[in-house]
């Protein structure tokens, strides 16, 4: 996403714009930030209160989505849902309910994607999987073999796979896309502005593709019985099996 200098209630801000130069509008709100520095918080402001002050769109360093920041529990420890393989039954139920509530809040005209990565060993034979649900009800899915790679590469590449499916379906660039990943690593790099210490070229390429679309990423807990997430996991493991067969 690119940004233009704008006025918001008498204050200078940067507002998000589409490749066409029009504001990115979702629910009559536009993403804005008060700083052009890395790590700036990105808010949502009413479109009626924003006026562009420049027609020159520019790329800015990654910001942190205020809407997407995980809510902190009273304990201050992560999501409160535990970790896959060790979470309690109650934690799994809470995590599934949280994910279902998130998904139900998505606009009906949005494409909803679920992505996952897997590998045997780390690194080892790896794969990626993605499920894409289009607004008309059509479901697209794909498994991808990655050869020998890390789990993080599998998780990141799954985002690329989802974008490939959207492109092949000719889903409009300006239409809303919601991507659900169970990788906090992927969510942090692509949505919260974490700095990539490895896989930099892969991350850079995915970010460039995301800028061309109206996308928001969300973290959901994995392996809690969420149907689409489980299917993405199965596809990722199918990619692993294909990598093992060479």
- Architecture of domain 89-245 in CATH? 2-Layer Sandwich (3.30)
Residues involved in catalysis: 116-117, 155, 182, 223, 233
Spell out the SS3 assignment of 115-153. Answer: EEEEECCCCEEEEEEEEEECCCCCEEEEEEEEEEECHHH
Q: What is the pLDDT tens value at each position of the chain, 246 positions in all?
A: 889 999 988 889 999 898 888 898 877 888 899 888 877 888 888 888 899 999 899 988 887 776 544 443 333 345 678 777 788 888 888 889 988 998 988 989 999 999 999 999 999 999 999 999 999 999 999 999 999 999 999 999 999 999 999 999 999 999 999 999 999 999 999 988 888 999 999 999 999 999 999 999 999 999 899 999 999 999 999 999 999 998
Residue 237 confidence (pLDDT): 98
Domain ranges of the chain: 2-65, 89-245
Evaluate whether 17 touches 24 at the Cβ level (below 8 Å): yes
Residue 83: which of 150, 179, 153, 182 has the closest Cα? 182
Angstrom distance (rounded) from CA 30 to CA 215: 13
5-41 pLDDT tens trace: 999 888 899 998 988 888 988 778 888 998 888 778 8
Give how far the C-alpha of residue 78 lies from the chain's centroid of Cα atoms, to the nearest Å: 18
Residue 75 confidence (pLDDT): 33
Residue 80 confidence (pLDDT): 74
Answering whether pTM is above 0.75, one says: no
């Amino acid at each position: 996403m690119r940004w233009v200098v704008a006025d918001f209630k008498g204050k200078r801000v940067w507002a998000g714009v589409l490749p066409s130069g029009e504001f990115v509008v979702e629910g009559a709100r536009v993403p804005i930030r008060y700083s052009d520095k890395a790590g700036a918080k990105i808010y949502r402001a009413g479109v009626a209160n924003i006026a562009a002050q420049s027609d020159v769109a520019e790329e800015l360093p990654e910001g942190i989505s205020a809407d997407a920041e995980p809510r902190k529990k009273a304990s201050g420890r992560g999501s409160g849902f535990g970790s896959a393989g060790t979470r309690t039954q109650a934690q799994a139920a809470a995590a599934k309910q949280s994910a279902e509530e998130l998904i139900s809040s998505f606009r009906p005209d949005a494409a909803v994607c679920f992505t996952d990565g897997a590998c045997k060993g780390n690194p080892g034979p790896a794969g990626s999987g993605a499920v894409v649900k289009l607004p008309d009800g059509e479901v697209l899915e794909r498994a991808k073999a990655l050869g020998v790679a890390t789990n993080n590469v599998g998780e990141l590449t799954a985002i690329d796979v989802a974008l490939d499916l959207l492109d092949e379906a000719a889903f409009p660039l300006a239409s809303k896309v919601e991507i659900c990943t169970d990788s906090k690593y992927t969510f942090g790099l692509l949505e919260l502005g974490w700095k990539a210490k490895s896989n930099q070229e892969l991350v850079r390429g995915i970010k460039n593709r995301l800028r061309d679309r109206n996308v928001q990423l969300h973290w959901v807990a994995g392996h809690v019985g969420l149907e689409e997430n489980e299917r993405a996991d199965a596809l990722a493991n199918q990619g692993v099996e294909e990598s093992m067969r060479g």
